[in-house]
Amino acid sequence: MTVVVPQTLKEALAFSSANPEAQIIQGGTDLMVEINFNHRKPTDVIALRRVEEIRNYAHSSDRSKLIVGAGLPYQKMEHGEIAELFPALAQAARTVGSPQIRAAGSIGGNLGTCSPAGDALPVLSALDAEVNLRTETTSRDVVIHDFMIGVKRNDRQPGELIVSVTLPIIDGWQGYAKVGVRNAMVISVASCCLVIDRKLGTVSVALGAVGPTIIRCRETEQWLATKIDLKSVFDVAPSLLKEFGDRIANESKPIDDHRSTAAYRRHAVATLSRRLLLRANTK
Ligand SMILES: Cc1cc2nc3c(=O)[nH]c(=O)nc-3n(C[C@H](O)[C@H](O)[C@H](O)COP(=O)(O)OP(=O)(O)OC[C@H]3O[C@@H](n4cnc5c(N)ncnc54)[C@H](O)[C@@H]3O)c2cc1C
C-alpha cells in the first residue's frame, strides 16, 4: 500500500487527478473502521490531514455565506463563529462520537461516507448547502440534495476531492436533535434539523436515519408556512403541533434494522420535530 501525504490542496488535487481510484482519508474515523473489518483494502491512499486549506472556514465576498473546509474537524464547529452562525451544525457536531472522534472526524468524511445516519447531513440538507468538488482541472458545486444519491452513495466522481461546503447564513432559528440507543457516543436512530428563515417566512425540516438518504419534508414545510406567520414570533396551538409531527412522520420512510424499528423511528421524528418547533417558538 502506498500512502501520499500532500501538504497543499494543489498537491492533493494533483495526486487525486493522477490516481482517481486512490482512497482519500481525512480523519479516518469511518475509513479505518472499514479497513479494520476488511470491508475495504485500498492499495493507494491520499491522506489529507496536512492540507491546511481545507481545515478552515471563510466568509463569501458578500458575507452572505460561509465556506466550510471539508477537513475541518467537528471540534472546531462546536463553539465560536460557526456555532454562532449555525447553531444546528454546532449541536449536531457536539453529538458526534467522543472528543477524540470529534477532533479527527470531518464534514467531508460525513459527506464521503454519506450514511443516512450522518449527523452533519440533516443540517446541510435543511440549509440547502452546496458541496464544492474539485479535480486538478475542474470545479463544480452540487446542491446537497443531488449529492446524496442513496445509502452510503454520493455523486463524487473518481479523482474529485470534496473541498468544502457552502452554507447560506440565515436570519432566523435553527436546531438539531437526535435519538440513539443511549445518550452519548451513539449513531442516530432518528434525527431532525429544523431551520426557520424569518426573512423569507419559510421553514426547512430534514430527517436523518429514517430513509435511504436524508429526507426533506417539503410537503409539511409548505403546509406549516400556510398555518403560521414564520416571519415573526408565533404561537403553536397543541393541535397544530400534533398535526405537524404527524405529517413529518408520514414523510419519513424508516425501516426495521439492528438499531431500531420503523415504528419507533416514526414516533421519534414526530417527537423530535415537535420539540424543535416549540423551541423555535420561544426565541
Ligand atoms: C467511535 C465512533 C463514533 C462515531 N460516532 C458518530 C456519530 O455520532 N455521528 C456521525 O455522524 N458519525 C459518527 N462516526 C462516523 C465518523 O466519525 C463520521 O462520519 C466522520 O464525519 C467521518 O469523518 P472523517 O474525516 O474521519 O472521514 P474518513 O474516515 O477519513 O473518510 C470517510 C469517507 O469519506 C471520504 N472522504 C473524506 N474526506 C474526503 C474528501 N475531502 N474528499 C473526498 N472524499 C473524502 C473517504 O474516502 C471515506 O470514503 C463515528 C465513528 C466512530 C469510529
- The predicted structure's pLDDT at residue 72: 98
SS3 content of the chain, % helix, strand, coil (to 5): 35, 25, 40
Q: Which residue's CA is the nearest one to ligand 1's atom 47? A: 24
Q: Which residue's CA is the nearest one to ligand 1's atom 40? A: 162
Question: CA–CA separation, 236 vs 274, rounded Å?
Answer: 10
- The predicted structure's pLDDT at residue 184: 86
What kind and span of H or E run contains 150?
strand 148-150
Structural contact between residues 203 and 234, judged by C-beta atoms closer than 8 angstroms: no
Ligand 1 atom showing the smallest separation from residue 156 Cα:
43
Q: Report residues whose beta carbon is within 6 angstroms of any ligand 1 atom.
A: 23-31, 33, 48, 70, 95-97, 101, 104-106, 108-110, 112-113, 118-119, 156, 161-162, 187
Helical spans, DSSP H, in the chain: 9-18, 31-36, 80-85, 87-95, 99-104, 107-113, 120-126, 144-147, 218-227, 238-251, 262-281
For a mutational test of ligand 1's pocket, the pick from 11, 25, 67, i.e. the residue with the most ligand atoms closer than 8 A to its C-beta, is: 25
Question: CA–CA separation, 165 vs 70, rounded Å?
Answer: 7
Q: Which residue's CA is the nearest one to ligand 1's atom 50? A: 97
**What's this model's pTM, rounded to 2 decimal places?**
0.98
Tens of pLDDT along 240-277?
999 999 999 999 999 999 999 999 999 999 999 999 99
Q: Which residue's CA is the nearest one to ligand 1's atom 32? A: 109
Q: What domains, with CATH codes, occur in the chain? A: 173-281 (3.30.390.50)
For residue 31, report the distance from its CA to the centre of ligand 1, in Å: 7
Structural contact between residues 245 and 271, judged by C-beta atoms closer than 8 angstroms: yes
- The predicted structure's pLDDT at residue 208: 98
Question: CA–CA separation, 43 vs 215, rounded Å?
Answer: 35
For residue 174, report the distance from its CA to the centre of ligand 1, in Å: 24
Nearest to 191 by CA among 119, 83, 275, 96: 119
Residues of the chain scoring pLDDT < 70: 282-283
